[in-house]
Each structure stands twice: as structure tokens, then as C-alpha cells.
Amino acid sequence: MRWLWLIPALPIVASGIIALLKQPRRRLSAGLAIAALSFSLLLSLAAFAHVIDTRALLLHFGFNPAVRETVDFTWLTFGTSTVQLGWVLDPLAAVMLMMVTFVGLLIFIYSVGYMAHDENYTRFFCFLSLFAGAMLGVVISNSLLLLFMCWEIVGLTSYLLIGFWYQKPSAAAAAKKAFITTRFGDVFFLLGIVWLFAQTGTLLFYNQGAGSLEPLAIGMLLQTPAKLGLSAAGAIGLLIFAGAVGKSGQLPLHVWLPDAMEGPTPVSALIHAATMVAAGVYLVARVYPLMTAGVLPGGTTTSLTVITWVGASTAVFAALIAVAQNDIKRILAYSTVSQLGYMMAGLGLGGVAVGMFHLITHAFFKALLFLGAGSVIHGSHEEQDVRNMGGIRKYMPVTFVVYAVGMLALCGVPIFFSGFWSKDAILESAHKWHAGQGPFYLLVFGALLTAFYMTRQVSYVFFGDNRGHDHPHESPRVMTAPLAILAFFAIALGVVGTPAWPWFRSFLTDTHANFGGLDSFKEPGLLTLMLLSSMVVLFGIGLGWMLYGNKSPRAEEPDALEKAIPPVWRALRDRLYVDELYGATIIAFYYWWARVADWLDRRVWGGIVAAIMWLFGLWAQLNRFIDMNFVDGAFDKGCEELSGGGGLMARVQSGRVQNYLRLLALGVVILAAILIWSSHG
Amino acid sequence: MTVVFWILAAVTVAGGLAAVMLKNTVHCALALTTAFAGLALLFMQLDAQFVGFAQILVYIGAVAILVVFAILLTRESEQPEKGVFSRTWLAGLAIAAAVFAVLAWAVLNSRAALPDAVGLPKPAPEVTVAQIGDALMGRYVLPLEILALLLTAAMIGAVLVAMHEKGGRK
Amino acid sequence: MTPLAGYLLVAALVFAIGLAGALTRRNAILVLIGIELMLNAANLNLVAFWRYGPHPEALTGMMFAVFSIAVAAAEAAVGLGLVIAIYRHARTADLDEINRMKG
Amino acid sequence: MANTLDQIFVLLKHWIMGLFPSAVQPVIGALLSVVTIIVVFPALFALTTVLERKGLGRMQNRIGPNRTGPFGILQPVADGIKSLTKEDIIPTSADGVVHFIAPLVLVVAVFMGLAVLPMGRNMQLVDMDAGLLFFFAIGASTELSIFMAGWSSRNKYSLLGAMRAVAQMISYEVPLLMSSVAIVMITGSLSLVKIVEAQNQYTWGLPHWYIFTPWGFAAFVMFCIAATAETNRSPFDLPEGESELVAGYFTEYSGFKFALFFLGEYLGMFSISGLGSTLFLGGWSAPLQVLEFIPSWFWFFAKVMLSIVVLIWMRGTLPRLRQDQLMNFAWKFVLPMTLLNLFVAAMWRFMGEGWLRWVVCSAILIVVYVGAGRAMMLRQNYGPRSYRYAE
């Protein structure tokens, strides 16, 4: 696939052109961005089809249907070692390409409507398509370095877009927070990259056996031990995972993601729900061989265990917090965090297929939810607090329907919704996990919470009677159409991942998909598991409905749950004090520093004061007066000295050309003399 | 060493000296043209007709004119009240002398000064303009093109630099 | 003394004179004049070496001289343009007073 | 017979040289040619002054000089005597040295320019390999003398005139060079002798002069314009526009120096028109094959005088340009046209024989000329001036 690079290149070029456009050229810029991305979509379709039919061909001849085509080129050479970049096309990449381009395109179209009133329209689309290009770059890159570059561009665009309304201080702060927090993870990521390069001498993933993810290199990495009883493979895996943690907001670096909701809603949908945060998951999936290095059949490795626990705990943690939020987008943000936790856990427990499947389905229904939320906000005049909404069902029927679909998918309502199948796969693999049942219970609890808070939100927003100030209105067609499409996929996507026909799994794991039919449900424990999860979900929904359904509490009166268990509620509402914790540490540091300064003040200057008092024996007024003069005088003297020194230095730079020329000539003379003497001597 | 050479050398050096020493700037420019002319003749003395003519055409025909234009445009033709030499003229002179000393010493100690060296007068190479043209269009075509580019750039740059600011700032 | 040495000496002298001019004159234009002289001295060297060098038929030195003459023309144009611009800006071409770039 | 007549001067020179020992012969030869030039052209100059004054007189409905000698033929002699005997005034504030040198430099330069012109078969002082280049190099150095004259006489009119003259000469030197480069491209030589020989051949009795080719004709027109400007002749005579600055750069000159300037100017006319006829009108070659029996030097001088007459005629006819018009015309019209002409000449060179190249080249030139001319008319409103009369 020589032309694969076009897929990311097109949007990037488009953004370049848009960057040059004038502000009033709104239609043109939007058109450019959308056109570029739709071309990319077509190309991705082509790539996808290509992968599929090569698989079919290989299967037909009974080979192992592993499709992987790479195109590599040397980027730079220093000494004997070269750094190669390149792109790869394999099922993983193909699926991801499809998802990113498709969801991205829908969201582009959506934002045409959503941003219609913003005067920085062109800038928005410039950033947006730059982001899309970088993200696609991450997806197709076959070299850890290239991936890292695109990864950073993605981070940058995320920063730019979160701070898109930089005139809002909160937005600016959120942007900074996001950037710095993710950077924190990226440091470890970079360390991992460097280490990997040092060990294997290549950053390519796949390169006819010479790549860093291929058995040869992996074996070599396994041999080399690192600290804490880890092999180099494991350590590098963990470092890279740290980058993923930063990017996809896992515990403990999740703090930036909820704040990122300051950005425009399409951005939240595209970047902080569907694609970018998924990049972390994708990264882990991409370097999965590193993670599983040296795993025994049925066993697990340190890295996988870590990933699993981090993922599971994040899932529950975030879900807990989401229960007690009142900002519609914040709820979704926390649910995103928890779903990302699910994906990570899925990766850790059941392998690439499980995690990626949830990633894909989640991308669709979460984008759907966000856009729905956006449409709600848009329709109810920029109102974001769920307690001031309610009864929107009547005003925005379309939005309500699609939102409901999304919500049910997220909760994982059985059979009909894609979320069910993907989450069920995760639960199943968690159940099968040999290294303990802890994650399983966590995840089940998480599912319960998910169902609960989604119900709470929906009933707050759509049921009851309207508590808003003025009547909401349905959003324009250009916004609802993408919603409808997304809704369709939120339902339909489940088909490719049912245990009955695990096409997706086999597609990613390079095995043949055989249509098991209903007998495949007879697998021991599977049915009971599905039953259990459905029970849990229904229980969660029921609970939520019981507490919030069709009631319309006033904004000021305490939440239903708050009445029940106030302390827990407060803790949850304050996001379990994570931010406070982080803040506290830093503030403590500041206090300490202040105390040091204070000490200096007392001892040093105070001592001088005392000395003067003792010397002149004047009374306090005069004393303080002298002291001031004395201190200030000291300061002034010091400043004078400093500036004097600077002036001394600066005198060399007399702006007289002739000085310079003179020095030049002098240098020439000396050089020539030296040359001659050396030649004579 | 022919007499002609010495005469020309004298003319050139005298012109140069005058060019840097005279009080009146315009006189300096005119003396400079003398030096140029002397150099051109020296070139011809070295059987480099073409270079000599080019020298005359470019330096006397263009550069000298440019210089006098610049002088008149900057109204520097009347000498300033506080000497024409800069505050640090002595150091400058010393350095220049040092440079000359080094160069002369180098020349006199190099093989060029020894009678058996390459410096032996040999039959003048017969260089026709056609040959020069061939060389320019053949071996040296790339430098030629680059030069053309450079000259264009220089022209534009000079025009832009010397142009009056539009809209009369300050 | 061989002819070549003679030419080289003359060139050196002219060069030194030019340098002296460039170093000692107040007036920017005269500094430029000095620089022009230095360039010409270099040309003289080139041609002299071409003439008395081992391979006169290979025109190298001559070509070099021609090119350097052309470049010098460009240099003069730009330099004088700059001088005029400076003059327009600082109302003087006296280099002792133009030290706006002092550090 | 015709041959001897043709070569008579050469034979004469050789005969005289024969009288001397062979050691000094080259010196004598050079001396002879120089003396000839120094004698002939001033004589021609004298003739021309009369011609011009009488011709202009006729054009302005008055009888020119007609007192001294028959039809005032001896007028120049009188003028000469007058200027020789007149007092030579140097303004007190003038810069003596420069003021003195300026006319000498001018005259010397112009005379040197004449040295490379082939004035007949084997009749040139030096046949330089780079003759054309030499000519232009020398021509360039006349500008300096003019500047010297204007600046040294400490008179604002002189200075203005000099600056105008220099600016104008520089501006028009470029088209002048460019238009002759076309010839060089075709001939493949900078030597004027070779150029003339290249033109000295006939088909069906008609000569191969370069003016009879599209690019040649265009180049000739450009050359004439540029040459007129180069010699500060009307309509480009702003530098000495009597109505604006008294007499331009030689306002402060009087007596013999003034005469020298006058001489220099006319010699400049001669050399330029000589160059023109050498480059385009086949130098000393006869206009028709049948006329070849007439000696070559006659043809040369005939052509020169013809172009002088044309110059005079133009002076009598055309009004003076304005400075900005002058400059715009040089840089925005003539120069581009010459560059285009170079391109066309190259095309001509590479298209090979046949009628096609005639069509193509002329087409390009005519189209561009008309287009560009119209464009300039519209933008710079050249062309017929509109006069407003006092009612």
C-alpha cells in the first residue's frame, strides 16, 4: 500500500491551506477540511477492503491469514545506525482508520452547524483537520518514532482545541492542565522509546523479522534483565504504557480529561471521547507483543497485570465520580474515563481483540452521546447544568431518541446494543482470568454504576418538566443527521462481535472466523455471565429510575442520593479530592518555601536591625527608619554593581563597524603570521 | 619587470592613496577611478584584455558613478568640521601596515619570488573572447547562472533598501 | 624580483591601502571605497596568478576575476543603498556616530 | 583600379611607413592612423556644425549662417578662432583641477572610442578581439567626465545638468548594449571588423545587413533611440535644456574648454552613428552589389553623415521629453523590448533557414511592441501631449 501515507497527508495539507485562508472564508475552509477527510475515508475504505480480500485469499489457500504490509524508508543516518520511518497496514490499523475517519467526518459535518456562530471558524477547522491528520498518522505509523511525533502533534492540537476559547480563563487553564499532564506521561514514553532503540537498534514495529516487535527482538529483550525483576521487554512495555496512561486519562493522570470539556463540544466528542483518548489504548494494542513478551499459555505478565489493575480501578473510580456530577459534559467525561479503563482492562485481560472491540463500539456511542449532549446544550441556550434542564424530550425528539440509544449502548443493555457485546467480552475474559477475580468484580460494579449514572443523567435531562429559563429548540439538520448515523452504528456494530460470530476477534487475531451459531453460547459459564451482566445493568437502570425517574427536583434542593448517604455523596461530588490532593502537595511545598523565606527575613535582616539598635541605642521608630534605609541602600548598591558589570561586558559591543573590521583584520594578520611561521619552522 | 608595469603600478597606488587620503569626498571618488583605470591597464598588461575592459565598464562606468551619486545624495561632499579621519585612525593605520607587512613578507618568502619559480615570463596565452564565451557557457555555466541570480537579488535589494518609505513614516 | 612577485606586491599594497582607508575614514562611503580597492587588489592577484601560473590555458583565474568583478558590482550597489538608507535614518554617514547597535 | 582606390589610404600609410627603419615602423604606423583620425574627425565636426546650423535654420524658416565665406561655409573657422582667442574664465569657487581635467577626459575618451571603428576595408586603428566591449567601456567613462564638469564648476545648473546627463546616459546605456548584444549573438564575435565582414555579402545583389531582419530592425530602432539619448541630443537633450538649466554641465565653461566640450559631443555623435552603421548598416559595405566599385570608406562616411543628418532632422522636429517620461521610457519600454529582442534573435538563430522564422519573429516583435506601447500610453499617458492655450 504505497499510497497509505495519503490518508494522514490529506487532512494535514488541508489544514495547512486553511491556515493560510482569511477569517471570512468560512465555507471554503469547512469544505476543504470535510473534503480532505472524506477522501481519507474513501482511501481507508479501500485499505480496509484490501485487507479483507487478502485475508480471504490467504484463507482460501489455507494459509495463516495474517495480513501485514509495511512500507519503510530511512529517515536519517548517524554513524552506522539509521532511523527508519514507515507505515503499516494490518487489520488493527485498518479498523482504526475506518473508525477515526468515519467518526471524524461525522463530527466535522456536525461542527459545521455547531460552530456556525463562532468567528474563529477557520481556525477551528484548521486545528480540527490537523488533529485528524496527526491521529491517522498515529494509526498507520510503523515506527515508534513516527508514532511519537504524530502523538505529540495530537497532544498539541488537543491543547489548541481545549483552549480554543482562550478568552475564558478556565479554558486556558484546562488546556495547560491537559498539556502538562499528558506531557508527564510522555516523558516515560520517550524514555521507553530511547531504551527500546538502545536495546534493539530499530524503532520499526515490523520489518521482515528485523522489527522491534518481532520474535527476534522480543526474545532478545526478554533475555536482558532490568530492575525489579522485570525483563527489559516488560520495563519498556510499562514505560510506554505510562504514555498511554497520560493520553487516555487512566488513574492517576485522569485529572485533565474532565477539565478538557471546556473545549467546544465537537472537540470533546472527537478528541476526548472517540479518537485521541483512544490513542493510548491503540498504542498499547500496537505494542502488545512487548506486553505479552514471555507469557505462558493461560498465564500473564507483569505489564499485563499492571494494565489490568490500572484499567479496572480507573473504571470504577471514574464511574463513582460520574455518579455525583451535575455538568452534563462532565458526567460524560468521567464515563469516558471509566470506559477507557474498561478498554485497558480488556487489553490486559483478553488481548487486543477484546480491548479494541470495546474501543470501536465505545467510539461510536460515546461520540453519539457527546454530540447529543452538544445538541442539547446548543438547543437549550448553552445551559450545561443538568438540574436546570429536564423535559427536553418534548422539545427535541430526535435528539432524545438518539441520546437514548447511546445511553442504552453505554449501559450495555442486552442483545440489541453494541455496548453490551463489547463489555460482555471484557467481563467474560475477566472471569476467565487466572490471576485472581479482583478485576472481574470491579468491572461488574463499574457496569452497575455506569447504568446508574446514565439513567440519572437521562432522567434529569429529558424527563420531568422543564426547569430551564426559556424553551429549548431542536438542532438543525446538519447536526442531527450525523447523530442518526452514529446511532445506527451504535446498535449495528454489535453484530460483528457476538460470541455467535466473533468476526472482529478473528479479524484482529488472524484466525478464521467460523460461524458458531447458537451453540457457541453453550460455552460453559458464558450464558450465566451474560445473564449476570444483563441483570446488573437492568438493576442499575432500575435503581436510577427509582431515584430520579420523572421527578423534577429543583436545582437548589439536595440530590436524591445526597439525602440517602450525604458523606459519600459529598466525597463523590468533589471528585474524591484528587485535584485537592495534587493541589495540596504543591501548596504544601509553597508553604514550606514561604517559611524558609520567612526564616531568612527574621534571622538575617532582623539581626542587622538588632545590631544597629544595639550600636546606636535609638528607639524603635528611628530604628526602623534607619533599618529601611540601610536595607534599601544595600539593595540599590547591589543593583548598581550588577548593572555596572553588565555595562563593562557590553562595552565590547560598541556598535562601530570599524571596530569589528579592525578586529577582523587583526585576526587575519595573526592567523597569517602563524601560518607562515608554522610553514617556515 | 618592464617600465610600463612600474608606471602603471605607480599610477594605481597613487590613485589608491589619494582615494583614501583626500579631504574632499568627490576627489576621493575621482582618485578611486584613477586607481581603477590603473588596475584595468595592469590587467591588460597581464594579457587579460577582457578582464580589463570588464573592469573599466563595471568600475569606471558603473561603480564610480554609483559612488559619486551616493556622495551627492548623502551631502557628504563638503568635509565635516571634525576631521575626516575617525577617532581611532592610528590603530587602523597600524593594523593596515601590519597586514601589508605580513602580505609582503609572505610574497617575498614564497616561491613566487624565486627566479626559478612559476613566475618566469612565458609566452602570453592567446585568449580570444570566443574561448572566454565557451568557458562561461561550458565549464562555468553554473557559476554564471548563480551570479545572474545574485545580481538580480542584489538589484532588487538595493532598490528596496534605498527606496523612500511609502506613507512617510517619521 | 620576478614579474609575478611584482604584481603580488602591488596587489598587497593596494589591499593595505584599501584596508587603511576602510579602517580610518569616518565616512561610510569612503569605507566602501576602501573595500572596493581591497576587492580589486584581490582581482589583480587572481589575474596575475592566472597569467604566470602553470596552466594559463585553463582560464580559471581570469574567470574568477570576471566573476568577482560582477559580484563586486552587486556589493557596491547594495552597500551604497545601505549607506543611503542609513543616512536617511540617522541624518549622517559618520561611522563614529552610527553606533545604534551598541550592546 | 577600384581596388587601389578602395585601399588608397592603407597603401599610403604603408608607403610612408616604408620610408622609416623597420624598428620604428609599428610606432609610425600607429602614429599615422592616430593623426589621421585626429585630423579627419574634427574637420568633419566643423562641417557638421555648419550643416546643423543651416539645416536647423531652414527648418525654422530662417537662413542659417551666411556671412563668412560662400554660404557661410567658413563659419566654423571663425568660431574656432573666436573660441581660441576668447578669455578662459574659471569661476572663483570652482574646483580648479577637476574643472580643467573634465573636457580633456571627455575628448580623449571619445577619440579612443573612434579607434576600433572599421572605416573601410582594412581601415581600422586597432582590430581588437573585444572591440565592441572596448567601445562601450570607453563610452562609459565619458559619463564620469561629464559629472566632473558639472560638479567642479560649483553651479547648481551645472550640477543638475550633470546629474541629469549621467542618469540619462546610464539608463540608456543598458538598452544600447542590449540591442548590440543581439548582433554579437548572431555574428558570434565582438570584433567590429568581423561583424562588418559578416554583413558584407549579397544575395541577388542585395546586402545581408542586419537591419534587414526583424530582430535587426527592432534592435536598430532601439539602438537609435538609445544612441540619441546617449549623446544627449534632442529630444533627449534635457541635460542642456536651455529653457530649464542654462547650458547644462558646461554652463561655466568658456573659450577653448567650451569648444572642447562641443567637439566631444559631436565626436560622440560620430562614433555612435559610426557604431550604428557598423552594426546594422553593414559598416563600409556597399548597399548594392553593383555599387561595390565605389570605395568602402566612402560608404562608411556616407552612412555616418546620413545618420548625422537624421539626428539633426530629429532635433529640428521633436519636442523635448520630461525627465520622468525619459526614465520610464528607458526602463519600462526600451529595456524590456531589447530583452525580448535578444530572445527573438536567439529564436532566429535556431529556427534555421526558411520563411517561417521571418513570420514568427516579426509577429512576436510587432505584437509585443504594439501591446506594450498601448499599455504605456494608457498608463503613463505618453504620446501626443495636450496643449492648453491661453484664451
Q: Which residue from B minimizes the CA distance to A660? A: B92
Number of Cβ within a 10 Å radius of residue A38 = 17
* Interface membership of A673 toward B (CB under 8 Å): yes
ipTM of the complex: 0.64
Mean pLDDT of B19-25: 84
Q: Which three cell numbers stand for residue A200?
A: 534493539
Residue B170 confidence (pLDDT) above 50: no
Task: Round to whole Å and give the CA distance between D337 and D331.
Answer: 10
Distance from CA of C57 to the nearest CA of A (A): 30
Secondary structure of A252-273 in HEC code, one letter for each residue: CCCCHHHHHHHCCHHHHHHHHH
DSSP state of B57: I
- Please name which of A67, A197, A90 lies closest in space to residue A144, comparing C-alpha atoms: A197
User: Is domain C3-90 given the CATH code 3.40.50.1820 in the classification?
Assistant: no
CB D134, CB B53: distance < 8 Å: yes
Question: What pLDDT is stored for residue A35 in this prediction?
Answer: 92
B129 and D190 within 8 Å at the Cβ level: the answer is yes
- For residue B32, the Cα-to-chain-centroid distance in whole angstroms is 8
> In this complex, does chain D touch chain C, defined as having at least 3 beta-carbon pairs under 8 Å apart?
no
Tell me: the pLDDT tens digits for A411-438?
888 777 888 888 888 888 888 887 778 8
Question: What pLDDT is stored for residue A134 in this prediction?
Answer: 92
* Interface membership of B95 toward A (CB under 8 Å): yes
- For D206, the enclosing helix (H) or strand (E) is strand D206-207
Residue A379 confidence (pLDDT) above 50: yes
Q: Which residue from D minimizes the CA distance to B73? A: D163
- Please name which of A179, A310, A154 lies closest in space to residue A256, comparing C-alpha atoms: A179
C31: which chain A residues are within 8 Å (Cβ-Cβ)?
657-658, 661
CA distances from D349 to D188, D189, D276, D343 (A): 11, 14, 21, 10
* Interface membership of B27 toward D (CB under 8 Å): yes
Tell me: the pLDDT tens digits for A44-60?
999 888 888 888 788 77
C103: which chain A residues are within 8 Å (Cβ-Cβ)?
649-655
Contacting residues for A31 by C-beta, under 8 A, at least 6 apart: none
Contacting residues for A415 by C-beta, under 8 A, at least 6 apart: none
Phi, psi of D207 (to 5 degrees): -80, 160
Task: Round to whole Å and give the CA distance between B85 and B91.
Answer: 12
CA angle A522, A342, A362 (to 5 degrees): 90
**Helices H / strands E in chain A, number of each:** 28, 2
- Please name which of D112, D102, C41 lies closest in space to residue B15, comparing C-alpha atoms: C41
CB D49, CB D73: distance < 8 Å: no
- Please name which of C22, C18, C92 lies closest in space to residue B76, comparing C-alpha atoms: C92
Tell me: the pLDDT tens digits for B58-111?
888 888 888 888 888 777 555 566 676 777 778 788 888 888 888 888 888 776
Q: Which three cell numbers stand for residue A650?
A: 557590553
Q: What is the pLDDT along chain D (391 residues), one digit of tens a residue?
A: 667 777 878 888 888 888 888 888 888 888 888 888 888 888 888 888 888 888 888 888 888 788 887 877 888 888 888 888 888 778 888 787 888 888 888 888 888 888 888 888 877 778 788 888 888 888 888 888 888 888 888 888 888 888 888 888 888 888 898 888 888 888 888 888 888 888 888 888 788 888 888 888 888 988 988 988 888 887 887 777 666 677 777 777 877 888 888 888 888 889 999 999 888 888 888 888 778 788 888 888 888 989 889 888 888 888 887 777 788 788 888 888 898 888 888 888 888 787 888 888 888 888 888 888 887 777 765 556 666 665 5
Number of Cβ within a 10 Å radius of residue A71 = 16
Tell me: the pLDDT tens digits for B38-58?
999 998 888 888 888 888 888
Q: Closest partner residue to A668 among B88, B92, B99, by Cβ?
A: B99
Q: Which three cell numbers stand for residue A89?
A: 497496514
Q: Which has the minimum average pLDDT: A593-597, B147-151, D42-46?
A: A593-597
- Please name which of A411, A389, A413 lies closest in space to residue A328, comparing C-alpha atoms: A389
CB A157, CB A131: distance < 8 Å: yes
Instruction: Report the SS3 class of residue D334.
Output: helix
B132: which chain C residues are within 8 Å (Cβ-Cβ)?
59, 62-63, 66
DSSP state of D293: G
Contacting residues for D53 by C-beta, under 8 A, at least 6 apart: D64, D65, D75
CA distances from C32 to A41, A527, D102 (A): 63, 94, 25
The residue range of the domain holding D46 is: 2-372
Q: Are strands A69-78 and D206-207 parallel, antiparallel or unpaired?
A: unpaired
Q: Closest partner residue to C57 among B13, B46, B125, by Cβ?
A: B125
Kindly report the CATH number assigned to the domain that includes residue B63: 1.20.120.1200
Q: Closest partner residue to B106 among A658, A666, A676, by Cβ?
A: A676
DSSP code per residue over D134-180: HHHHHHHHHHHHHHHHHHHTT-HHHHHHHHHHHHHHHHHHHHHHHHH
Which chains share 3+ C-beta pairs under 8 angstroms with B? A, C, D
pLDDT band for A12, please (50, 70, 90 cuts).
very high
Task: Round to whole Å and give the CA distance between A492 and A460.
Answer: 27
CA angle A577, A578, A584 (to 5 degrees): 85
Q: Which three cell numbers stand for residue A33?
A: 477540511
Residue A513 confidence (pLDDT) above 70: no
Mean pLDDT of A127-154: 90
Residues of chain C scoring pLDDT < 70? 1, 99-103
Domain count, chain B: 2
Burial class for C40, CB neighbours closer than 10 Å (0-12, 13-18, 19+):
buried
R_g over Cα of chain C: 17
Tell me: the pLDDT tens digits for A642-663?
888 777 766 666 667 777 787 7
CB A68, CB A207: distance < 8 Å: no
Instruction: For chain A, give the mean pLDDT.
Output: 81
Task: Round to whole Å and give the CA distance between D297 and D283.
Answer: 9
Residue D102 lies in a domain: yes
Residue type, A476: P
- Please report the beta strands in A38-96, taking only residues with DSSP state E, as ranges in sequence order: 69-78, 81-89
Tell me: the pLDDT tens digits for A611-630?
776 776 667 666 677 667 77
A653 and C95 within 8 Å at the Cβ level: the answer is no
Domain boundary among B80, B103, B136: B80
CA distances from A475 to A371, A386, A399, A635, B103 (A): 11, 18, 8, 65, 86
Q: Which three cell numbers stand for residue D143?
A: 559619463
B65 and D173 within 8 Å at the Cβ level: the answer is no
Q: Closest partner residue to C95 among A649, A651, A657, by Cβ?
A: A657
Question: What pLDDT is stored for residue B120 in this prediction?
Answer: 53
Task: Round to whole Å and give the CA distance between A292 and D334.
Answer: 79
CA angle A565, A567, A568 (to 5 degrees): 70
- Please name which of D222, D228, D221 lies closest in space to residue D175, comparing C-alpha atoms: D222
DSSP state of B112: G
Higher pLDDT, D332 or A512: D332
Q: Which has the minimum average pLDDT: A146-155, A174-183, A599-608, B115-124?
A: B115-124
CB D239, CB D168: distance < 8 Å: yes
Higher pLDDT, A487 or B92: A487
pLDDT band for A38, please (50, 70, 90 cuts).
very high
Instruction: Provide the Cα torsion A17, A22, A24, A29; round to 10°.
Output: 0
Quick one: B2 and B76 in the same domain? yes
Q: Which three cell numbers stand for residue A309?
A: 489493575
The residue range of the domain holding B131 is: 127-170
Residue D389 lies in a domain: no
CB D16, CB D35: distance < 8 Å: no
C77 and B120 within 8 Å at the Cβ level: the answer is no
Question: What pLDDT is stored for residue B124 in this prediction?
Answer: 65
pLDDT band for B169, please (50, 70, 90 cuts).
very low
Q: Which of residues 35-94 of C touch A (CB under 8 A)?
A: none
Spell out the domain ranges in chain C: 3-90
Q: Which residue from A minimizes the CA distance to C96? A: A656
Cell numbers 582590430 correspond to: D127
Q: Closest partner residue to C23 among A650, A655, A662, by Cβ?
A: A662
Residue D313 lies in a domain: yes
Q: Which has the minimum average pLDDT: A228-237, A438-447, D382-391?
A: D382-391
Residues in chain B: 170
Q: Which three cell numbers stand for residue D371?
A: 501591446
Cell numbers 609582503 correspond to: B104
Contacting residues for A451 by C-beta, under 8 A, at least 6 apart: A411, A412, A536, A537, A538, A539, A540, A541, A544
Tell me: the pLDDT tens digits for B114-138?
655 554 556 666 778 888 888 888 8
Residue A484 confidence (pLDDT) above 70: yes
Instruction: Report the SS3 class of residue A71.
Output: strand
B129: which chain D residues are within 8 Å (Cβ-Cβ)?
129-130, 133, 189-191
Which chains share 3+ C-beta pairs under 8 angstroms with C? A, B
Q: Which three cell numbers stand for residue B147?
A: 551570479
DSSP code per residue over D22-56: TTTHHHHHHHHHHHHHHHHHHHHHHHHHHHHHHHH
- For C91, the enclosing helix (H) or strand (E) is none
pTM of the model: 0.54
Cell numbers 477551528 correspond to: A124
Residue B136 lies in a domain: yes
Task: Round to whole Å and give the CA distance between B159 and C84.
Answer: 11
Mean pLDDT of A466-483: 77
Tell me: the pLDDT tens digits for A159-191?
998 888 888 888 888 888 888 888 888 888 999
Quick one: B136 and B70 in the same domain? no
